[in-house]
Structure formats: C-alpha cells, structure tokens
Amino acid sequence: MFHREAGVFKTTYASDMALYPLPIAKWTMVALAVLFAIVLPASLEEYYLSILNLIFIAVVGALGLNILVGYTGQISLGHGAFMSVGAYTAANLAVRLGLPFWLTLPAGGLMAAFIGALVGIPSLRIKGLYLAIATLAGQLIIEWTINHVPAISGGAQASIQVPRPDLFGFVLNTQSRLYYFLLFFAALAIVATLNLMRSRIGRAFIAVRDQDIAAEIIGIDIFRYKLLSFAVSSFYAGVTGVLYTYYLGIANYEQFQLGVSIDFLAMIIIGGLGSVLGSIFGAIFVTLLPIVIRTLMENVGSLFFSDSELANVVSGTRLAVFGGLIIFFLVIEPEGLNRLWRNVRSYFRVWPFSY
C-alpha cells in the first residue's frame, strides 16, 4: 500500500515466479515475523495468546481445505473426520508407543492423507453436489468407525488423553509456550502452501479446477492430481487434528463432527476461495468475530440489561449479527475478504491519481 512498483523490472522467469515479487514484500515479511515471534508474545496477556492459538490451528485447517476446494475445485464435507483421523493416529502413537510429537504429527498427517485419498476416489467420476454427498458419507463412516472400534478410540468414551508435547525436555504446557509451537506450524503451513501453488503440482491443480477436460488434453493426469489434491488437503487436516489434540491434551471424535467440516468451509468461502491470504482472513474472521461481537455487546448491553438478562440477549443476537456480517461482506464482495483487501490495495496504488 505504501510502495510503488515503478522501476522494478523482471528479466528472468525465476524472478517472475519469486515468492516475493517486490523487494518491499520481503521487508513486510520480516516485520510480520518480528511482530508474531517477538512483539505479540511479549506484550499480550495469556487470554489473547489463547485466541491467537485457536486462530493458528484454524489457519492450518483452512489452508488445507482451500487447496482442495479453492485451488482444485473439488468439494469436501469430510474434513472434520480427516482431522479426527490425524488426532487418533497421533494419540494412539503417543500413548501406546510413547512417540514424541515430531513423529506423531507427520504420522497423523500421513494417515489422514491416506484416508482422504480413499474418500476422494469418487471425485474421479462425480463432481459438485454429488461429490459433497460422497464426502459427507466419508465423514459419517469415519465417525462411526471411530465410535465402534475400541482399538482406535481407546474405549467406550472414545477419548484418549495425550501428554503435553515436549521438546528436549521443555514441556509445552502454557498458552505462551503452545503459542510458539502452533505459530511454527501455522507459518510452515503458509509457506508450504505458497510454494506448492507456484510449483508444477499447484498449477496442475488450478488447471483441473478451471476445466478438467482441457487439463487432461494438455497432459495433466487427472486421476493422479485429483487424488493428490485430496491427499495433500487431508494431510493438512490431519495435522490440524494433531495440533488440536496436543493443544487440548485429548483426542475425542466428538470435537470433529460434521459441524466442524462446515465451519471450515465457511472460513474459506468468507476468506476467499483459491487464495492463501483468504484462508488466513477466513480463519481469523470466523474465530475472532464471535468473540469481538460478544465483547462489544456485553459492554454496550450492560447499560440496558442486568447480568442475567444480558446473557440471554447476547447469545441470541450475537448469532444474528454474525450471520448478518457474513452476508454483508459476501454481498459487497462475493469473492471474499481477500478480494476486498485487494480492491482496497489497488485503490490506494494509484491514489490520489485515480481516474
């Protein structure tokens, strides 16, 4: 917003494909890194860090779902279940074999990727709403299986307590320690997605989304790339599940039911399909907005209502305001918050000489 691109010329393909197209983007990145790694954890109370932690976990999941829905044009209503696959894989490995998180985390992701690719097989034949129903079936089958197989679920309660993650004897048990743990994986997920999308694989995903027959004609193996997209996306979901498990100290499939799949779809639709920044905006929006609305309404409402009345008023109207805001943002920009942000940016690019 505060820079001009004048004088920046790209003379090689490499520079055109660079992660940071402008020198100033690099500095913005550094500033953001300093903000998140040093300034915020040093200045915020634990409560605010805990909200950031929830956002970080949501960012990983939203990025994963956006790879599938936004970039590859497939749809999944089963991501909640893929998260539970990751969660239970990691919990079982951590409890039964005593493995550390840096082994259980990728293991949970890989298991979810495998199951996700299986559930994604129907995508080779069907699209759109039909695929949504097929993945919905996947969600329900996985829930049922976990509920009914004690070997996975660890008993009738279907919940497995896991120890806190530790790194070289340093136990991550407070919000500020978990903050760094989750920040690392959120950042890793962001960088990985940015890189994936400018690679051959990412471009193949986009080609499949735009027109799969055309993509096949230009030599993209649809079978492979659709399943790969399901696998990569489910890997992210699995990692999200593992992060939740370590964050809460328990794996429990009731935390990953259909509503969660829909929440994540809402995130990427509000944030913007097919964009990394959009996934981040969406995760922030859906996690933070209810909290912000509630805090505002509690402060304003306490002028008119007693505490016990307020509780009733707030919870009802909060949902209405939340829904209203989603509609508002989607009406002014159907392509999501990311597009809204780009519009603002391009307006200021030529400001004050817009024509």
Partner 1 sequence: MMRFERRWLGLAVAAGSLAFASSAFAQSKELVFGFQCDRTGPTATVGTVLCPGYHDYIDLVNSKGGVEGFKIKVIEVDNEYKVPPAVEAHERFKKEGAVLEGLYGTPQTAALNKKLEEDKILGTSPGFGTAAAADGKRFPYTFPIAASYWSQAGGAVEFAKEKMGGLKGKKIAYLFYDNPAGKEPLPILEDLAKSEGFDLRTFAVPAPGVEMGSQVTDIVQRYKPDFVITHLFGRAPSVSIKELKGKGYPLSKVVAFVWGSAEADITAAGGMGVAEGYNTLQFAGVGKDFQVNKDIVAMYKAANKPAPKEMDSTVYYNRGILNAALHVEAVRNAIKAKGGAAPTGEEVKKGMESIKGFTLGGLLPPMELTPADHEGGGWVQVWTVHGGKLTRTKDWFQGYRSVIQKHLAADASKS
Which spans of this chain sit near partner 1 (rule: CB under 8 A)? 45-47, 50-51, 54, 58, 147, 153, 156-159, 161, 164, 173-175, 244, 247-250, 252, 254-255, 259, 287, 290-291, 294, 299, 302-303, 307-308, 311-312, 314-316, 318-319
CB of 104 to partner 1, least distance (A): 17
How many whole angstroms separate alpha carbon 244 and alpha carbon 246?
6
Write the DSSP symbol of residue 166.
Answer: E
CB of 86 to partner 1, least distance (A): 15
How many whole angstroms separate alpha carbon 226 and alpha carbon 187?
25
Q: Nearer Cβ to partner 1, position 126 or 291?
A: 291
Q: Nearer Cβ to partner 1, position 83 or 273?
A: 83
CB of 126 to partner 1, least distance (A): 25
Q: What is the DSSP string of 254-306?
A: GGGSHHHHHHHHHHHHHH-TT-HHHHHHHHHHHHHHHHHHHHHHHHHHTTTS-
Cα-based distances in Å from 58 to 61, 97, 157:
5, 28, 25
CB of 338 to partner 1, least distance (A): 22
Instruction: Please give the structure tokens belonging to residue 65.
Output: 């779902």
CB of 232 to partner 1, least distance (A): 24
Query: Shortest CA distance to 87 belongs to which of 284, 260, 286?
Result: 260
For the chain, report the end-to-end CA distance as a whole number of angstroms.
18
Burial 265-288 (b: 16+ CB within 10 A, else e): bebbbbbbbbbbbbbbbbbbbbbe
How many whole angstroms separate alpha carbon 152 and alpha carbon 322?
37
Q: Nearer Cβ to partner 1, position 169 or 259?
A: 259
Q: Nearer Cβ to partner 1, position 47 or 355?
A: 47
Write the DSSP symbol of residue 164.
Answer: P
CB of 317 to partner 1, least distance (A): 10
Q: Nearer Cβ to partner 1, position 58 or 69?
A: 58
Q: Nearer Cβ to partner 1, position 104 or 275?
A: 104
CB of 254 to partner 1, least distance (A): 4
Q: Nearer Cβ to partner 1, position 23 or 259?
A: 259
Residue 195 φ/ψ, nearest 5 degrees: -75, -40
How many whole angstroms separate alpha carbon 52 and alpha carbon 288?
9
CB of 158 to partner 1, least distance (A): 4
Q: Nearer Cβ to partner 1, position 215 or 237?
A: 237
Write the DSSP symbol of residue 107.
Answer: H
